[in-house]
Amino acid sequence: MQTEGQVKRLDRIFAQLNANPRSQRCKGMAGLIAEYDELMKEKPEPDVCDAGLIAGAQKVEHYEIAGYGTVRTYAQMLGETEAARLLQETLDEEGETDKKLTRLAERQVNREAMAAA
């Protein structure tokens, strides 16, 4: 659901700018996915796997935060205040997701993974 809202905001921004988005493979994100694949091939203990998955998800969130923060700043510099506002909404959502993942890891998952390792 969150991703759908983010896509709709991006569509609005592109429409406002009279621009056509195009798909492009992201090498950075592909690297993060490759790290995840390596972890899964190792078949770690379930608790270690959970901790690794949360860490991987946080890496993805941080990567997205960096990207959205950058383009939000560009929009501000170009005077595109509506685009900047929409990008800030997405940035806020990504930050909240990161905080949730941190709380999840701190509560139980990392302790269990340490005990299993």
Q: Residue 99 in 3-state DSSP? A: helix
Domains in the chain, number: 1
pLDDT in tens, the chain (117 residues): 788 999 999 999 999 999 998 888 999 999 999 988 888 888 888 888 888 889 999 999 999 999 999 999 999 999 999 999 999 999 999 999 999 999 888 876 556 656 655
Residue 24 within a domain: no
Residue 23 within a domain: no
Q: How far apart are CA 58 and CA 51, in angstroms?
A: 11
Residue 22 within a domain: no
Q: How far apart are CA 67 and CA 64, in angstroms?
A: 5
Q: CATH number, domain at 67?
A: 1.20.1260.10
Give residues with Cβ within 8 angstroms of 32, minimum separation 6: 56, 59, 60, 63
- Domain, as residue range, for 99: 2-17+29-116
Residue 46 within a domain: yes
